[in-house]
Amino acid sequence: MGLEQKVPEGILTTTLDSVINWGRANSTWPLLFGLACCAMEMIATGTARHDIARYGSELFRASPRQADLMIVSGRVSNKMAPVIKRIYDQMSAPKWVIAMGICASAGGPFNNYAIIQGVDKIIPVDVYVPGCPPRPESLLYALDKLREKQARESISADRLSQAEEQLAIEEIIPLGA
Amino acid sequence: MPLDVAPISRSYETQRTLNPPGIPAAAPLPTGETDDTRRIRERFGDDIGAAGLHNGNQVVYVKPAQLKALAAFLRADPQLQYETLIDVTSVDRSHLPLNGDDARFQAIYQFRSYTRNQHLTLVTNCEAAASPAPSADHNETLLPHIDSLTGVFRGADWPEREVYDLMGIQFDGHPDLRRILMPKNWPYHPLQKQTPLGGEEVPFTLTWDDPEFETLGAQILPAESAAPDLPPGMSRENMIINMGPHHPSTHGVLRLVVELDGERVVSIDPDLGFLHSGFEKTAEHKRYKDFVYYTDRMDYLSAMANNLGYCLTVEHMLGLEIPERAQVIRVIMVEMQRIASHLFWLATHVLDVSGTGMSLLMYATRERERILDLFEMVCGARLTVSYIRIGGVWQDLPKAFITELKDFIRVMPQKIREYEAMLTDAPLWQERLAGVGYISREDGLAMGLTGPMLRGSGVDWDLRRDRPYSGYEGYEFEVPTSDRGDCYGRYRVRMEEMRQSIRILQQAVDTLPSGLYKSNNRKVSAPPRAELDVSMEALIHHFKLMTEGFHVSPGFFYHGIEGSKGELGFFVYSDGSAKPYRLHVHGPSFNNLYAIDHISRGEMLSDVVTNIGSIDIVLGEVDR
Ligand code: SF4
């Protein structure tokens, strides 16, 4: 939402793209959302020593409407999966997902009845971080990778995802009712 | 579309290894007698099946009809005084050779007398279901059943619900027998032996033709909304709000359903299981030595303590001697872990209570990072360490470790004083903590609370001092307690515990002996790498250990250690093979969290957040 809605049809936005991407890449706010062990390393990344603020991502938002990035930090259980999907739907586009750790990426050591084998079964993932748990440095590297991806994005392509998002919102409105 | 939770059977996971005859075997009956078992026999006579010592623990087998009476007797009898029910678990013996009339399910209770410093295990057969063939689909009338102990010990509530949920044993007379960990419409009970481990086939070939990739990024699970159930006992007349599972102050994925009258809490119903990862079922498919790595991931804030608790239990069953140096190294690691865990508790507690107290988070994690660096020095990992192994520790301490540790011991007391200067007398801190979350000594005991929760209510008990393990009897330290029973009392207890841990660390560093860092018993702990090049025997031992593991003689054993959050207990049932037949973890957070409803009633909604912080939970351990 926001800026790209104001750009009328038929106008080239190549230069705008880079400006907007620059802004987005430097202020990707993660969702304040911890699942398991990996969340501890995510918190460690947020504190002074590793200082995620260098990436403009120190503002962990508790509300999905204010967050751009979901760091799935830990194993996703069958009971938690619908909740994660719901939170993801509630985030406003553009939004990105980092699967932090082997559990979120592929189930990790828990190949059993309780754990979903990778969060990509329920939401699309942009960057996978290996490790159990990944060190804070790995998470920062993942943010680097995410920036590379963000730099290639274009707001005209975002329009599509907006339409999708509208659908998702319509889907969840009856929930509140 | 309903959730597809059909259990997937992977034959290579459940394949029985070539076992010598005699395996599997059921646990032998206890032998000998003690004062307590004699007293119980006197009173209950023929209703006691067997009583005595098994693996060093007092074990009593009782007939199901007398279970409740015996529990009440254990609690009330002045010569016994078992005030607390520590743990309830169960075992499905369908894969064991049983005699004709042996029951398939057994419930196992751990009782503790704090006044007399005694521990007692009670085993009872569950009465069979109406139909002998247990069906895989969920049918309440077919479940085995046993009397509930909730009427005698309040703390039996959640553990019994857990047993019902995972094992499918019905507790007659339980006030609120609902599923606690699994989703409420889950179709089966995962710990029953006929239920496979589940999971997915691991794709060994990864090509883009794999059907696996067709669904990548697509939604498989429906996220449809279902009208939430009103927890029993709550009334729609009051306001009911939902906290979590995604909430910044619930320390993970905990969901609380809070019933409010205005701003006052009427009752709380915690909804657990959002991080249930099937540790206990997984353990049944791993060799003893391979489960050490899983223990890290339960209470991920005190991985070392988890390692130690598990290893001690298995080592006791093996009768393994641990070298002196390994024991001291273990104590160093566990005490450092306790400080690290308390620091994290402090950081998040202050953050929750003040809302903006970022500074303490930064300060406390600064010190915690030093500890994690030390861990990294010894084992290369910061969080999931797996450093303590069966038989000793993974590797010897590196040279620079002791110097670094000494430096840490030197600076840490000053840092604790700094935190206290910021908090202890601060009016805001006192206002938010003093008198909030009160629990009396009696209630704490009845609910089976452990650790700082119990010491904060004036019970002078610490497993390190009272039932010492790993050589704790050789260290001088005090056990801080507080009679306040509120959040402030628990805060004081934990701060003092950090100081005492430093004291223990200091003594351990001073007395660190030289010698072996792991047991020389080649049947259990792998030979050093260098030996493999020169000794054929070492090679064989290594091969046997890595391919088969070691066997533990049939029997069961419960052992608890003083973790940073309370009593961390492991119960292992062995059938003589190289994998645990049943493994149960008594996580202190689970039992302590039970108190949240009791201590929050009548308080403000904002105090609930204080109480969660004060209980100090880790969801990985609550949900397992
Ligand atoms: S990847 Fe490892 S550290 Fe992360 S949640 Fe899974 S088990 Fe825990």
Which of the listed residues A77, A100, A102, A135 should we mutate to test ligand 1's pocket, taking the one with most ligand atoms within 8 A of CB? A102
Percent of chain B having pLDDT more than 70? 89
DSSP class of residue A77 equals B
B109-120 pLDDT tens trace: 999 998 888 898
| Contact partners, residue B377, CB within 8 Å, separation at least 6 | B398, B400, B401, B404
B376 touches A: beta carbon within 8 Å: no
- Buried b / exposed e over B411-428, threshold 16 CB at 10 Å, is ebeebbeebbeebeeeee
Give the DSSP H/E element, type plus range, for residue A98: strand A96-100
Instruction: Determine, yes or no, domain membership for B501.
Output: yes
Residues in chain A: 177
The pair phi, psi for residue A82, each rounded to 5°, is -60, -30
Write down the pLDDT at residue B18.
62
Taking a C-beta distance cutoff of 8 angstroms, is the pair B160, B174 a contact? yes
Q: A152, exposed or middle or buried, with CB in 10 Å at 0-12, 13-18, 19+? A: exposed
Instruction: Determine, yes or no, domain membership for B193.
Output: no
Average pLDDT over residues B31-60: 84
| Cis amide bond preceding A133, omega within 30 | yes
| Nearest CA among B314, B331, B468, B462 for reference residue B387 | B331
| Nearest CA among A162, A5, B220, A31 for reference residue A170 | A162
Whether residues B293 and B167 share a domain: the answer is no
Tell the residue number behind the tokens 């880790």, with chain if given: B618
Instruction: Determine, yes or no, domain membership for B313.
Output: yes
Which of A133-147, B29-43, B282-296 shows the lowest mean pLDDT across its residues?
Answer: B29-43
Write down the pLDDT at residue A177.
37
B275-315 pLDDT tens trace: 888 899 888 888 888 899 999 888 888 899 999 999 999 99
Write down the pLDDT at residue A94.
84
| Contact partners, residue B317, CB within 8 Å, separation at least 6 | B55, B552, B553, B555, B557, B572, B574
Q: Say whether pLDDT at B260 is over 50.
A: yes
Q: Domain tally for chain B?
A: 2
Average pLDDT over residues B168-186: 84
Interface contact flag, A122 B197, Cβ < 8 Å: no
Average pLDDT over residues B504-528: 87
Count helices and strands in chain A by DSSP H and E runs: 7, 3
Identity at B300, one-letter amino acid code: Y
Q: Say whether pLDDT at B218 is over 60.
A: no
Write down the pLDDT at residue B210.
63
Q: Say whether pLDDT at B339 is over 90.
A: yes
User: What is the C-alpha to C-alpha distance for residues A105 and B579, in angstroms, rounded to an integer?
Assistant: 28
A36 lines ligand 1 (CB under 6 A): yes
**Cβ count near B154 (within 10 Å):** 18
> Residue B270: its chain A contacts at CB < 8 A?
none
- Categorize the per-residue pLDDT at B219 as very low, low, confident or very high, splitting at 50, 70 and 90: very low
Taking a C-beta distance cutoff of 8 angstroms, is the pair B518, B329 a contact? no
The pair phi, psi for residue B309, each rounded to 5°, is -60, -45
> Residue A112: its chain B contacts at CB < 8 A?
197-199, 277-278, 281-282
- Categorize the per-residue pLDDT at B215 as very low, low, confident or very high, splitting at 50, 70 and 90: low
Q: Edge-to-edge strand order for the sheet containing A127-129?
A: A69-73, A96-100, A127-129
Of B107, B142, B172, the last residue of a domain is B172
Q: What is the dihedral of CA B320, B321, B324, B325, to 10 degrees?
A: -30
Angular region, B392: left φ>0, alpha ψ -120 to 50, beta rest: left
A78 touches B: beta carbon within 8 Å: yes
Q: Say whether pLDDT at A176 is over 50.
A: no
Domain boundaries, chain A: 3-176
Average pLDDT over residues A136-142: 91
Tell the residue number behind the tokens 């054929």, with chain if given: B536
Instruction: Measure B266 CA to ligand 1 centroid, in angstroms.
Output: 37
Which of the listed residues A33, A76, A84, A103 should we mutate to test ligand 1's pocket, taking the one with most ligand atoms within 8 A of CB? A103
B81 lines ligand 1 (CB under 6 A): no
Percent of chain A having pLDDT more than 70? 81
| Cis amide bond preceding B228, omega within 30 | no
Write down the pLDDT at residue B220.
46
**Looking at chain B, which residue has its C-alpha nearest residue A110?**
B277
Whether residues B162 and B293 share a domain: the answer is no
B228 touches A: beta carbon within 8 Å: no
What residues 329-348 of chain B have any CB closer than 8 A to a CB of chain A? 344
Alpha-carbon radius of gyration of chain B: 25
Structure token digits, residue B475: 């260290």
**Cβ count near B310 (within 10 Å):** 29
Which of the listed residues B294, B297, B382 should we mutate to test ligand 1's pocket, taking the one with most ligand atoms within 8 A of CB? B297
Alpha carbon B51 to its chain centroid, in Å, reads 26
Greater confidence (B313 vs A154) lies with B313
| Contact partners, residue B99, CB within 8 Å, separation at least 6 | none
Greater confidence (A64 vs A154) lies with A64
- The residue segments making up the domain with residue B61 are 22-172
CATH at residue B379: 1.10.645.10
Of B143, B172, B201, the last residue of a domain is B172
CATH at residue B150: 3.30.460.80
Alpha-carbon radius of gyration of chain A: 17
User: What is the C-alpha to C-alpha distance for residues B145 and A83, in angstroms, rounded to an integer?
Assistant: 34
**Cβ count near B14 (within 10 Å):** 12
| Nearest CA among B70, B179, B58 for reference residue B112 | B58
User: What is the C-alpha to C-alpha distance for residues B541 and B531, in angstroms, rounded to an integer?
Assistant: 11
Instruction: Determine, yes or no, domain membership for B295.
Output: yes
Tell the residue number behind the tokens 């308390």, with chain if given: B342
Q: Say whether pLDDT at B203 is over 70.
A: no
Who among B221, B246, B282 is closest to A81 (CB)? B221
DSSP class of residue B195 equals S
Instruction: Determine, yes or no, domain membership for B378.
Output: yes
Measure the N-to-C terminal CA separation of chain A; round to a whole number of Å.
24
Tell the residue number behind the tokens 């452990």, with chain if given: B450
Q: What is the dihedral of CA B525, B528, B533, B539, to 10 degrees?
A: 0
Average pLDDT over residues B364-389: 90
Q: Say whether pLDDT at B138 is over 70.
A: no
Average pLDDT over residues B369-381: 91
User: What is the C-alpha to C-alpha distance for residues B244 and B124, in angstroms, rounded to an integer?
Assistant: 38
Interface contact flag, B223 A86, Cβ < 8 Å: yes
- Categorize the per-residue pLDDT at B338 as very low, low, confident or very high, splitting at 50, 70 and 90: very high
**Looking at chain A, which residue has its C-alpha nearest residue B298?**
A37
CA distance A132 to chain B (A): 7
Average pLDDT over residues B416-431: 86
Taking a C-beta distance cutoff of 8 angstroms, is the pair B49, B62 a contact? yes
* Mean of all residue pLDDT scores within chain B: 84
- Categorize the per-residue pLDDT at B570 as very low, low, confident or very high, splitting at 50, 70 and 90: very high
- Categorize the per-residue pLDDT at B136 as very low, low, confident or very high, splitting at 50, 70 and 90: very low
User: What is the C-alpha to C-alpha distance for residues A81 and A31, in angstroms, rounded to an integer?
Assistant: 16
CA distance B120 to chain A (A): 32
B80-103 pLDDT tens trace: 888 899 999 999 888 888 876 778
Interface test with A, best of B297, B376, B382 (most A CBs within 10 A): B297
Of B109, B141, B172, the last residue of a domain is B172
Taking a C-beta distance cutoff of 8 angstroms, is the pair B376, B390 a contact? no
User: What is the C-alpha to C-alpha distance for residues A74 and A40, in angstroms, rounded to an integer?
Assistant: 10
Taking a C-beta distance cutoff of 8 angstroms, is the pair B614, B437 a contact? yes
The pair phi, psi for residue B57, each rounded to 5°, is -100, 150
User: What is the C-alpha to C-alpha distance for residues B30 and A111, in angstroms, rounded to an integer?
Assistant: 37
User: What is the C-alpha to C-alpha distance for residues B244 and B102, in angstroms, rounded to an integer?
Assistant: 44
Q: Say whether pLDDT at A142 is over 50.
A: yes
| Contact partners, residue B473, CB within 8 Å, separation at least 6 | none
| Contact partners, residue B28, CB within 8 Å, separation at least 6 | B54, B554, B555
Structure token digits, residue B13: 């996971």
Instruction: Measure A107 CA to ligand 1 centroid, in angstroms.
Output: 9
> Residue A124: its chain B contacts at CB < 8 A?
217
Please list the helix, strand and coil fractions of chain B in percent, rounded to the nearest 5, in that order: 40, 15, 45
Could you report the predicted ipTM of this complex, rounded to two decimals? 0.82
DSSP lists the bridge partners of residue B84 as B112
> What CATH fold (topology level) applies to the domain A3-176?
Rossmann fold (3.40.50)
Instruction: Determine, yes or no, domain membership for B249.
Output: no
Average pLDDT over residues B1-6: 47
A107 lines ligand 1 (CB under 6 A): no
Q: Say whether pLDDT at B559 is over 60.
A: yes
Instruction: Determine, yes or no, domain membership for B211.
Output: no
Instruction: Determine, yes or no, domain membership for B3.
Output: no
Instruction: Measure A98 CA to ligand 1 centroid, in angstroms.
Output: 14
User: What is the C-alpha to C-alpha distance for residues B112 and A85, in angstroms, rounded to an integer?
Assistant: 44
Greater confidence (B299 vs A165) lies with B299
Interface contact flag, A116 B221, Cβ < 8 Å: yes
Which of A118-132, B143-157, B181-195, B600-614 shows the lowest mean pLDDT across its residues?
Answer: B181-195
